[in-house]
A and B are shown apart, each in its own frame.
Chain A
Amino acid sequence: MNYFPDEVLEHIFDFVTSQRDRNSVSQVCKPWYKIESSSRQKVFVGNCYAISPERVIERFPGLKSITLKGKPHFADFNLVPHDWGGFVHPWIDAFARNNMGLEELKLKRMVISDDSLELISRSFANFKSLVLVSCEGFSTDGLAAIASNCSFLRELDLQENDVEDHRGHWLSCFPDTCTSLVSLNFACLKGDVNLAALVRLVARSPNLRSLRLNHAVPLDILQKILMRAPHLVDLGVGSYVHDPDSETYNKLVTALRKCKSVKSLSGFLEAAPQCLPAFHLICPNLTSLNLSYAPGIHGTELRKLIRHCRKLQRLWILDCIGDEGLEVVAATCKDLQEIRVFPSDPFVGNAAVTEVGLVALSSGCPKLHSILYFCQQMTNAALITVAKNSPNFTRFRLCILDPTKPDAVTNQPLDEGFGAIVQSCKGLRRLSMSGLLTDQVFLYIGMYAEQLEMISIAFAGDTDKGMQYLLNGCKKLRKLEIRDCPFGNAALLMDVGKYETMRSLWMSSCNVTLGGCKSLAKKMPMLNVEIINETDQMDISADDEQKVEKMFLYRTLAGRRKDAPEFVWTL
């Protein structure tokens, strides 16, 4: 394929945007590899320890946008100790030293310090977009540095981060000359913000399309903001408590009338439901609605709101909506593609939804393909019905609050139900299961789930066979996370080569022993096999027969990491 000059090839490759496709392109031949690598601008690194920043820079000198993920997924549920790792600084440092023209940085489950934020703001003149998801280690001081120094900042998107709030005036740090903001999301900040500065910032940002406020922004400020940003497409309401008879409320209604472009709505932290009718005005246009942080919105008010949302494609909701409310969703939202139902009361282990709601959704919403569902109970019959109604699921995550609860009617394991799901949903890529499950369900998954890439298992299975069925059958498996299952060394060591085809494996509270892990590490030098040793009972001389509490292994080109804390052992 030497007919075309490099420039032409490069131009053609510009149209290839997905990372997977570009990876494929680069594997065709050496010239293509070279051209693709030198022209690639966007890179996704699913495990920041799988490769070193220097190698990434070397291969992709034109890199402008990078996504990095750090901690294992189970870190979300506090199964990974604080300070395990995921430090982004070496990456920022390397990019800065090599004068990379970094413009976009997206991090997930990583630790980023104020120093790193400051370094970003000073090293990359064209820096445009910072997206932090479930990150920690920084404060509003770091945000102030970004605001002050990134003259062309378009996007600052903070999603569910743990941010130390110094109540500084980071919002006031955006200079008057900064008019480039398109997206600003600070919903996760716990502290006050300078409201006057916020309003001024909105007023001088004509391109602002996405704005998500935190709880400290009251209704009267919201109204002022909406008056100045009528072209918003995505709105996250802050605190929504006010007297529905007041002047402020009426002004809000007027402002909302002008917001004809809002398609996505979220927030309503501390909501007073009687004020909701104001939002009925924009509901008909909504394609995305996130009320999962609004326990104050429930019952009739919630159902009234939903009935106005006929175009909804994505809904995140709390389980106080109840099966009844889900039936309203099923009847109203015929375009629904994704739904997440979260538990609303963290104190009492009772969810307000059951298999009834799930079946209603699958019956009423033909386009539904992605679901996360926390519920009180499930039955095989319901799952079989869902499988029949919705063969298009790509993501199916079911969490029964009692993790080993059997079929609520027959008391049988839920093997048949999940088996039906994997058999029917041929495009299933992600699966989480719960309830009473035996080795049988893994047999089904191994047999049918050909496209499965990620699976989360807890309190399931009887013997090593369960895990073996999985590893044998799922050819496209990339991420496997297991907790509290009776899988041991026989399963772990059955096919060690498999782990090089996967991103990572997490096993905690299973039956794998230190000896098994050592053996695996020895056979597979391209894997980092990390033991997280919290109990201080293990040391190098520990008995190989001892069970390992937490193991995390991942393929890597970077060797063992240098920033592992004392309690992490790389075998």
Chain B
Amino acid sequence: MEGGLGSLGGCGGSSGASTNDHTVSRVEVVEAEASSYPVEAELELGLSLGGGGGKGKANAWGERGRILIAKDFPSVVSQPQRPNNNNTSTSPACVFGAVSGTKRAADTVSHEAGSPTAGSQVVGWPPIRAYRMNSLVNQAKAARSEEDKGIGEKDKSKDNLKKKICNGNMISAPGKEKGHLGFVKVNMDGIPIGRKVDLNAHACYETLAQALEEMFFRSTTSLNSIGGEKQQGTKLSKLLDGLSEFVLTYEDKEGDWMLVGDVPWGMFLTSVKRLRIMRTSEVNGLAPRFQDRNEKQRIKPV
């Protein structure tokens, strides 16, 4: 059966630019194109069957260069494992389509039991309006962060209710990017215009990194194809000629810049405020692999 695998990408809904209907700005076209580029077919299959992920990954990433995350460096906590998808039956599992209708919505708390329904991920299933899905995801997240702090829902004391209000208000807090359906800003060094990615559309670091590569590296092709900024396009691909030159970092709730990938995915989701794809040369010390470019051993908040 043809897989309805659809598109991968961060932008499910409007991601910032208000649409001018007469002249769709170049940025929006880029967004549209970037967001409609799906994952390489073999990669999708690899992830869903649980076995061939590694193989597919290498192929897809090798061509375009990669953004490094924590696991690429030694002595880093291993990534949360996907639930073992050994089900080879033809019926797709009843896994919810993710917020952006791409990958399954975050199986966020990695220490929870994996989804009881194994099998391939199905885009746009079950058929729930994206708005409703996003609401539930946000509400579930808020509830989970309460649980993380040890507040049960049945606790009726005044203090706990107050804390509930605080946590609830996290979603309505002004300026909080997370309140916007899980979208966080992503900036890449050297590119003046930022993007937004929907973290809820991803269940693990791999797919997030991949989506970002699609967005930022692949976007060179689309920029070329609409005839604009050819210079920038060439410049970017030159940067990718060598080994990976970029590292994915994030700013956490406390304002520190951290390497993406150290903590379990669920914890990452609750603390990330925004992302930055940093030039490795700008990171003040990371891992031995890059010692020839950097002297120090720790990331300094940039």
Contacts and interface: CB of A to CB of B under 8 A. Distances in A.
A418 B16 CA distance: 44
Contact of A293 (B14, B24, B135, B137): B135
Contact of A82 (B11, B38, B122): B11
Nearest to B159: A243
A410 interface: no
Contact of B21 (A113, A188, A536, A567): A113
A77 B18 contact: no
Contacts of B18: 113-115, 137-139, 141-142, 164
A190 B139 CA distance: 13
A74 interface: yes
Given A77-B101, A190-B179, A349-B117, A113 B20 contact: yes
Contact of A77 (B129, B139, B156): B129
B2 interface: yes
Interface in B64-92: 90-92
Contacts of B24: 83, 565
Given A90-B21, A160-B131, A563-B21, A137 B125 contact: no
Interface string A58-93: 000000000000000010111101110001111000
A346 B32 contact: no
A387 B33 CA distance: 46
Interface stretch (A39-47, A122-130, A303-311, A395-403): A395-403
Label chain A's interface by main secondary structure.
Answer: loop
B158 A77 contact: no
Contacts of A239: 165, 168-169, 172
A371 to B, nearest CB: 15
Contact of A191 (B16, B100, B102, B174): B174
A241 B164 CA distance: 8
B116 interface: yes
A405 B116 CA distance: 15
A141 B17 CA distance: 13
B163 to A, nearest CB: 10
Interface in B160-219: 161, 164-165, 168-169, 171-172, 174-175, 179-181
B12 to A, nearest CB: 6
Nearest to A397: B127
A534 interface: yes
Interface in A539-565: 547, 549, 563, 565
A78 B97 contact: yes
A510 interface: yes
Given A401-B94, A402-B117, A78 B21 contact: no
B239 interface: no
Interface stretch (B45-53, B105-113, B240-248, B278-286): B105-113
A186 to B, nearest CB: 13
A37 B290 CA distance: 74
A111 B16 contact: no
B62 interface: no
A405 B95 CA distance: 13
Interface in A135-192: 136-139, 141-142, 160-162, 164-165, 167, 188, 190-192
Interface stretch (A228-236, A267-275, A358-366, A419-427): A267-275
B140 to A, nearest CB: 7
Contacts of A49: none
A78 B101 contact: yes
A484 interface: yes
Contacts of A456: 127
B220 interface: no
A346 B136 contact: yes
> In this complex, which of B13, B142, B158 has the most chain A Cβ atoms within 10 angstroms of its Cβ?
B13
A345 B117 CA distance: 14
Contacts of B107: 347
B267 interface: no
19 contacts: A76-B127, A76-B130, A78-B123, A79-B4, A79-B6, A79-B123, A79-B124, A81-B35, A82-B31, A88-B21, A160-B132, A165-B180, A167-B174, A342-B132, A347-B96, A399-B127, A403-B94, A509-B3, A534-B38
Q: Which 9 A-B pairs have the closest CB atoms?
A: A78-B101, A89-B21, A401-B94, A402-B94, A77-B124, A83-B32, A404-B91, A162-B13, A509-B4
Given A79-B4, A188-B131, 15 more contacts: A77-B125, A114-B18, A137-B19, A162-B130, A239-B172, A241-B164, A342-B128, A349-B93, A349-B95, A349-B115, A403-B92, A459-B91, A484-B1, A534-B7, A535-B38
